[in-house]
Amino acid sequence: MVARSNTAYKVTLPSDLEIVMTRVFDAPRELVFKAHFDPKMIARWWGLRDNTTIVDKLDARPGGAWRFVQRRADGSEEGFHGEFREIVPPERFTWTFEWEGMPGHVGLETYTFEEHAGKTTLTATSFFNTLEERDGVIASGMEAGANESADRLEELLASLQA
């Protein structure tokens, strides 16, 4: 079993329309960044552990679309999609994010990657249109899901560096 750092995302709410999550990964930022754009890597870490992630679409360029599907053991699925707005390898990217179970509620997310002494600080900032949307995302269990995905990403990064 791969050892984990046992660090969860640090979650802050700097305004009524934002969620900021920060976590340090024991890997260089080029690798952490790549894990967010390589479909084979995404399928190994994105989403809940008991689900299968299908990278349905990943056109990694400004204006390009992305869509990931989470398939549960019972065969049911839920999709997430959006559009890339900015990609600056390996520093940051911005995309829109929409859960298909709640159409019309589109967030904007920016991910930044900062390396210090071979470790990468990943900061994900999510912007919402209303306080109700932000609080709905928080109430949905987003933090637990994000941490489960991040734990899986940490395991993948460790295995790639072994």
Express each pLDDT in 74-111 by its tens digit: 999 999 999 999 999 999 999 999 989 888 889 999 99
Domain span at residue 14? 10-47+85-161
What was the pLDDT predicted at 95? 98
Strands of the sheet containing 77-88, edge to edge, are 10-12, 18-25, 119-127, 107-116, 92-99, 77-88, 65-71, 52-58
What was the pLDDT predicted at 2? 36
129, part of any domain: yes
Mean pLDDT of 15-36: 97
Q: Supply the mean pLDDT for the chain.
A: 93
75, part of any domain: no
40, part of any domain: yes
What was the pLDDT predicted at 8? 85
Domain of residue 153, CATH code: 3.30.530.20
Angle 125-21-68 (CA atoms, 0-180°, nearest 5)? 70
- Is residue 101 helix, strand or coil? coil
Q: Which tens digit of pLDDT belongs to each residue from 128-139?
A: 999 999 998 888
Q: Which amino acid is at 136?
A: G
What was the pLDDT predicted at 6? 52
pTM of this structure: 0.92
67, part of any domain: no
- What span, in angstroms and rounded, lies between the C-alpha atoms of 128 and 19? 9
Q: What percent of the chain has pLDDT over 70?
A: 96
Burial label, 95 (beta-carbon count in 10 A; 0-12, 13-18, 19+): buried
**Number of domain units in the chain:** 1
Evaluate if residue 39 carries a pLDDT over 60.
yes
Residue 4's pLDDT band (boundaries 50, 70, 90)? very low
Evaluate if residue 3 carries a pLDDT over 70.
no
144, part of any domain: yes
What was the pLDDT predicted at 136? 87
